[in-house]
Structure 1
Amino acid sequence: MTTTFFLVRHAAHDRIGRILCGRMPGVTLGREGRAQAVMVAERLAGEGLAAIHASPRERAQETAAPLAARAGLTVETLPALDEIDFGAWTGTSFDDLNGDPTWAGWNQARHVTRPPGGETALDAQARVLRGLEDLHARHGDARLALVSHAEVIKLVIAHALGLGADATHRFEIGPASVSVLVLGAWGAKVESLNERAFLGSHA
């Protein structure tokens, strides 16, 4: 019994690369992001999706909406797919964070560094992996789309590849990208990484 997960990073918003948005409210897709979301829906249109699950964040829900409409499904909100809880860093510019020694520690050792009032990378990884295991048990042999966030998807991929939580900087998960993970009783394998369904992108 294998479950195929299409791991979709939310499409672009106007704060990408400038602000650590985390779980801050009101972060919605820009014009480019809305176009990207439609292209993701086209990319996955023929995949026979049984369900679509998304993080509670607005940008993830907005990315999932065209996909659900195209597939004739509803978007199911799944808290396990939520962005990492960055605590007091939420909404802070990267320029400001670069002077914070704890931020430097996070980027060097995410498995043990906790954002002020937030969660470690290992906390987030355990949360999302439990969510995938629950979906595997619930859906069995099925193909599911999961709309989440870059760091969360990276933690899933890193686990499947046998990499530590501090190795996620070694590969990219771009806005509106699709990565494919297959989960079975034998373990997990990565079938594709960071597919882009459009020309031009934000970093």
Structure 2
Amino acid sequence: MRGITMDATDTTTPRRPSAARTRLIDSATRLFYEEGIHTVGVDRIIEEAAVTRATLYKQFGGKENLVLAYLRTEDELLRAMFAEAGAAVTDPTELVDAVIDGIAADIRLRHTRGCPFINAAAEYPDADGAVRQLIEEHREWFRSTLHAVAQGAGLVRPEEVAASLVLLRDAALVGGYLDGEERVGPAFERTARAVVASHSPDTSRRA
């Protein structure tokens, strides 16, 4: 993706996680997102993942590290989506459209119960804690990535475009859960494209 990196500083091939670790993360991801982090205890995750308590503590040391692994998984999936879009779309203007389409599809098909990071932040009020620090890093990456996309497309004041798209995505993920995607999705797309259009060089010159 032009102007966007994946922060890949380690060139070694990562070791494949064990089957038990993968099951634990998969189970935690589903349960934490669908039911809430504090609501789901480790016994429920152990049962769902079909592992022993000793295995969970060997792999993660405790529930908070499993929460961090869940959020890192969500972060990695979003980064991968951006990387795939950058590989598939070479025109910078079309890439902006692809990003908006991708966010709309995510609201419609995957994150139907709000943003996992916003949900987690609501359960972890300590801004200095490890969970909130990870959330902050993710949001900074997301904001800077949108800035790079807008800048690559030649949009005027790309930092404003990025800030607006972050705000619109936050609102759409929450609104999609509360009011339904069929109402919120089209409104997100209309508003996001209006933001982009208002920051195009031609529009700015006319203004």
TM-score range, shorter chain: under 0.3
Bigger share in strand: 1
Give the TM-score of the pair, scaled to structure 2.
0.27
Give the TM-score of the pair, scaled to structure 1.
0.27
Name the structure, 1 or 2, with higher relative contact order (CA <8 Å, separation 6+). 1
Structure index of larger Rg: 2
